[in-house]
Amino acid sequence: MTMASKSDSTRDESDDEAADSTEPESALETARRQLYHAATHLDIDQNIVERLKHPKKVHEVTVPIERDDGTVEVFTGYRAQHDSVRGPYKGGLRYHPEVTRDECVGLGMWMTWKCAVMDLPFGGAKGGVAVNPKELSSAEKERLTRRFAQEIRGAIGPTVDIPAPDMGTNPQTMAWLMDAYSMQEGETIPGVVTGKPPVIGGSKGRDEAPGRSVAIIVREAIKHYEKDINEASVAIQGYGSVGSNAARLLDDWGANIVAVSDVNGGVYDTNGLDTHSIPSHHEEPEAVMGHNAPETVTNAELLELDVDVLVPAALGNVLTAENAEDVRADIIVEGANGPTTSEADRIFTERGIPVIPDILANAGGVTVSYFEWLQDINRRTWSLERVHDELEEEMLTAWDVVRDEFTDGEVTWRDAAYIVALSRIAEAHEARGLWP
Ligand SMILES: NC(=O)C1=CN([C@@H]2O[C@H](COP(=O)(O)OP(=O)(O)OC[C@H]3O[C@@H](n4cnc5c(N)ncnc54)[C@H](OP(=O)(O)O)[C@@H]3O)[C@@H](O)[C@H]2O)C=CC1
Ligand SMILES: O=C(O)CCC(=O)C(=O)O
């Protein structure tokens, strides 16, 4: 599909809604505003845009668990299924106290675009439980996951909707989910989740994949803007699956990782940190501040450091109207999902700071999930080297396609990625007859 100006007849109330970008902004509001904005650059059937504003289905379930002290606590879980025109729903499960229905819908929309940008045969979904996993013992987390699996069992399946890890969940969570689902179905079904431990059908390299793709995109962005990776300074917020793996790879590739943080704040060294000696969230949560470094920074200060590349890789909505004018990075690469509000995005565009979007940068996670799904179907294991090689190839292909739209000059990197994604989704909707 070619780019074209949106005609007057396709303008509707969404344009006004897009213009009114007040904060705080939910993930769903951000996702919808990004959709309207990108759609203005495309000759796309307005009925498809209207359809894509809404999820196909949102499952809300009650998840009661017995705590270790014998009391019962009740949590709320969600699975938002946004669009499946290109294949089964795909996306992570988040355990975090701020999980809401709208957050899952917004994150599910981003999964639809992410899978389309990568040209994977999946649609988009996201889910989670509103819970602080740090307040649960391992046994309680297992009971929560098994009960959640039971409640959403009818909504998921290897050809229907395939969950994966996200914030607060990990390969162990996926192993419990797969086991609970398989027990209920009466047979072992590895393909119902991805991001499992390799010993039960998980792919090698899935754990580090989103961080690896962030590192690849940082490397390509540095090249695109004619900088030298050996002289580039990088600040990374969040030291979990995404942040720590991105930091360590970029460190290995010669970049100067000057700051990293966890929930409590960050460490800062203009000479570069030894990222391998700082424990990641999975090695030891909340350990970053314990690392010996010349300076510490708050999470707010980290975002405003004078660096070549800033990588927000923890929560959404951290770059806002409040701090966007104070950001001093030359390039922003989104490791987290939705770290930039609409207003901050507008300010960065005005200030000429490129923002490489989440739906491209962190897409390595779902791409290796796709590799895992293929391995499960074929009952064949790939070597780590093959996973790395194929991920590198997929990321560079997606980068080239998005960069070709971007070098058109009229759009931001986010719009360029959306143009690629929306064109593919709209074509699939048109081919299937608009309303699958
Ligand atoms: N895991 C995946 O496959 C993918 C994840 N993402 C996205 O990347 C982001 C991070 O996910 P992931 O790495 O998996 O999460 P993890 O749970 O592995 O790690 C989260 C990290 O963020 C830190 N953190 C938590 N709250 C804050 C805060 N308020 N300020 C600063 N840091 C904070 C945590 O610190 P502490 O250690 O102290 O708890 C931890 O270091 C999310 O937006 C997620 O949606 C995107 C693509 C794939
Ligand atoms: O691997 C997956 O299926 C999804 C990962 C995810 O949740 C994400 O990319 O945000």
Fold classification of 209-361 is Rossmann fold (3.40.50)
Mutate to test the pocket of ligand 1, among 111, 264, 281, 395 (most ligand atoms within 8 A of CB): 281
**One-letter amino acid for residue 95 of the chain:** Y
CB 101 within 8 A of CB 184: no
Q: Cα separation of 31 and 17, whole Å?
A: 12
CB 241 within 8 A of CB 207: yes
Mutate to test the pocket of ligand 1, among 241, 301, 302, 320 (most ligand atoms within 8 A of CB): 241
Q: Which of 126, 141, 196, 204 is catalytic?
A: 126
Asked if the domains at 55-189 and 209-361 fall in one CATH topology, the answer is: yes
Closest ligand 2 atom, CA of 126? 7
Q: What is the pLDDT of residue 17?
A: 47
Q: What is the pLDDT of residue 7?
A: 35
b/e string for 303-329 if b means 16 or more Cβ within 10 A? Answer: bbbebbbbbbbbbbbbbbbeebeebeb
Q: Cα separation of 117 and 115, whole Å?
A: 6
2 sits in which H/E element = none
Please determine, for the modelled complex, whether the ipTM score is greater than 0.85.
Answer: yes
CB 243 within 8 A of CB 268: no
Query: Which residue is associated with the tokens 């904060």?
Result: 23
CB 237 within 8 A of CB 303: yes
Low-confidence ranges of the chain (pLDDT < 50): 1-19, 436
Q: What is the pLDDT of residue 383?
A: 98
Closest ligand 2 atom, CA of 363? 9
Q: What is the CA radius of gyration of the chain?
A: 21
For ligand 1, say whether the CB of 281 is within 6 Å of any of its atoms: yes
Please confirm whether the linkage preceding 24 is cis (ω < 30° from 0).
Answer: yes
Q: Cα separation of 7 and 297, whole Å?
A: 48
- Residue 234, CA distances (Å) to 303, 409, 418 in order: 11, 26, 26
Q: What is the pLDDT of residue 47?
A: 87
pLDDT digits (tens, 9 = 90+) for 81-96: 999 999 999 999 999 9
Nearest to 397 by CA among 358, 369, 360: 360
Sort strands 309-312 and 57-66 into parallel, antiparallel or unpaired: unpaired
Q: Please give the mean pLDDT across all residues of the chain.
A: 94
CB 80 within 8 A of CB 125: yes
Residue 102, Cβ density class (10 Å: 0-12 exposed, 13-18 middle, ≥19 buried): middle
Q: Cα separation of 19 and 22, whole Å?
A: 9
| Other C-beta atoms lying within 10 Å of the C-beta of residue 340 | 27
Q: Is 126 an annotated catalytic residue?
A: yes
* Termini Cα distance of the chain: 20
Look at residue 10 and give its three-state secondary structure.
helix
65 sits in which H/E element = strand 57-66
For ligand 2, say whether the CB of 90 is within 6 Å of any of its atoms: yes
Contacts of 410 (CB under 8 A, 6+ apart): 41
For ligand 1, say whether the CB of 313 is within 6 Å of any of its atoms: yes
Contacts of 16 (CB under 8 A, 6+ apart): none
Q: What is the pLDDT of residue 408?
A: 63
- Residue extents of the structural domains in the chain: 1-53, 55-189, 209-361
Rounded-to-5 percentages of helix, strand, coil across the chain: 45, 15, 35
Q: Which CATH number describes the domain made up of 55-189?
A: 3.40.50.10860
Q: What is the pLDDT of residue 434?
A: 59
Could you give the count of Cα atoms lying within 13 Å of 8 in the half-sphere of its Cβ?
0
Q: Which ligand is nearest to the Cα of residue 123, counting in written order? A: 2
List strand residue ranges (DSSP E) for 298-404, in order: 309-312, 331-333, 355-356
For ligand 1, say whether the CB of 334 is within 6 Å of any of its atoms: no
For ligand 2, say whether the CB of 194 is within 6 Å of any of its atoms: yes
Q: Cα separation of 85 and 4, whole Å?
A: 23
Nearest to 243 by CA among 188, 282, 198, 191: 282
